[in-house]
Amino acid sequence: MAEPLSGSRKIVFSLVLVGLLWGFVELACLGGLWALARYKNLDYSPELVRTLSEKHRGILDSYLAGQPSYLIYSPPLGWTIRPHGTSSLYHANGQGLRADHDYPPAPPPGRLRVAAFGDSFTHSSDVADDAAWEVDLERLEPRLEVMNFGVPGYGVDQAYLRYQQEGARFQPQVVLIDYMSDNINRVVNVYRPFYFYKSGLPLTKPRFVVRGGKLVLVENPIQSLAGYRELLDHPDAKLDELGQHDFFYQRRNQRSRFDFLPSVRFAHVMGEQYTEPILQGSVYNTRSEPYQVTAGIFDAFYREALAHGSLPILVFFPDKRDIRAFREGRGKVYQPLLDDAEKKGHRHLDLLDGFARYGKDAELNELAHVHYTRRGYGMAAQWILDYLRANGLTTPEGVQAALAVERAKKG
């Protein structure tokens, strides 16, 4: 009969067994990391932002020195367009809108005032002033007066706040709530480089959160230029403070001393990508925080425009990746938002449908680079006009009739 193991041998045997099991787990996780990188393009790459880059220091120094720029710091919005601001391509009026004239408080008699709120696609970035889609829309339909409230780098959250603080007082009869697919990331971001480290906007912004089913505003964490001086002087402490409400800081800006273990890295990737990820397959995940915040902003913006006597319309601006995916039959990443708008009865139009109609024979680089080309913006203007005409929305009387129907529908 075999001699029973002594107490010390049992401990050694147990340790060896645990070590073998641990090694097996680590090897399995190493294989899992390889498979995720190979087949899902997912890997462990926390974007640690612990200090300011020289590029971001230079940009902030120029803001603090008051050097002329097209964009300026704004406590309630994060940033906005400088009144009478200029760049090589862009010129702003005295109200901080991309236009060659100021606007009176009320719409001119006999013209329909349309106000567009959104990001760089609304702003018509990368083309000259006379090639902006708002200008094209006025040329195509002279009865329209189209105001460009677009600001480069905005999310739909900042667009909504700009409407509240600056846009509503101009009494637009139609409000275009513009959305580009990357906005889903921007609405949960507070400090731009946490999301996109190479950004040329090292500025903070407000964001909304959903608490108890309600949309709640978290104000811009830097409320004066002195706050940026503090960021320059004490970046480590200040960046951690800025990350408290930033979705990407909380998910990406964490590193463990045990990162050398495949199991730790694998757990991080799985936790980030499969615990309510932003995308589920090739479309937005409707359970994710970014989606819930985006849908909440749409609803609030829509209701508020109606309450001010304006007819809101959601306008989806596809970027170059969206256009390519659509042409290749891979669908629309923002399809859940389109479905939600349809379900709730929100007026909406998708510019991808316009590109499919007017640009189906065009090369992709004729329509979009980073932003749209002149031809692409022209197609956007034509498709928006097609929608307005098809729905009888090119005159104040037509919009008033539609408003009556909209209010009855919304109760």
pLDDT at 38: 72
Please give the Cα distance from 113 to 174 (Å, whole number).
7
Residue 46 has which token pair? 């926390």
> What confidence score (pLDDT) does residue 47 get?
61
Q: Say whether 304 sits in a helix, a strand or coil.
A: helix
* pLDDT confidence of residue 65: 92
Task: Provide CB contacts within 8 A for 109, sequence distance 6+.
Answer: none
Helix (H, G, I), strand (E, B) or coil at 272: helix
The answer to whether the CB of 349 falls within 8 A of the CB of 316 is: yes
Q: The tokens of 358 are what?
A: 């007017």
pLDDT for residue 325: 94
Strands 78-81 and 71-74: antiparallel
With contact defined as beta carbons under 8 Å apart, do 162 and 172 qualify? no
Determine the Cα–Cα distance for residues 405 and 148; give it in Å rounded to an integer: 27
What secondary structure letter does DSSP report for 5?
P
Instruction: Outline where 308-362 has alpha helix (H).
Output: 320-327, 335-344, 351-358
Cβ atoms of residues 93 and 100 within 8 Å? yes
Domain spans of the chain, in order of start: 56-410
Q: In Å, how far from its chain's centre is CA 170? A: 25
Q: Is 110 left (phi over 0), alpha (psi -120 to 50) or beta?
A: left
Instruction: Give the pLDDT of the chain (411 residues) as one tens digit per residue.
Output: 455 656 677 677 777 777 788 888 878 878 887 887 776 656 665 666 778 999 999 999 999 998 989 999 999 999 999 999 999 999 999 999 999 999 999 999 989 999 999 999 999 999 999 999 999 999 999 999 999 999 999 999 999 999 999 999 999 999 999 999 999 999 999 999 998 888 999 999 999 999 999 999 999 999 999 999 999 999 988 999 999 999 998 887 666 566 667 786 677 666 655 556 898 888 999 999 999 999 999 999 999 999 999 999 999 999 999 999 999 999 999 999 999 999 999 999 999 999 999 998 999 999 999 999 999 999 999 999 999 999 999 999 999 999 999 988 876
Q: Kindly report the CATH number that applies to the domain delimited by 56-410.
A: 3.40.50.1110
- Predicted confidence at residue 260, as pLDDT, reads 67
Question: How many other β-carbons are positioned within 10 Å of the β-carbon of residue 287?
Answer: 10
Per the rule left: phi > 0, alpha: psi between -120 and 50, beta: everything else, 108 is: beta
- What confidence score (pLDDT) does residue 209 get? 98
Secondary structure (3-state) at 117:
strand
Residues 6 or more apart whose CB falls under 8 angstroms from that of 199 comprise 153, 192, 193
- Alpha carbon distance 110, 187 (integer Å): 37
Radius of gyration of the chain, Cα coordinates, nearest whole angstrom: 25
Whether the model pTM is above 0.85: yes
Q: Which of 50, 47, 137 is nearest to 386 (CA)?
A: 137
Res 255: pLDDT: 60
Separation in Å, CA 275 to CA 101, 278, 285, 286, 287 = 49, 9, 11, 12, 10
- The pLDDT of residue 272 is 59
* pLDDT for 9: 73
DSSP 177-224: EEEETTHHHHTT-SBHHHH-TT-S---B--EEEEETTEEEEE--S--S
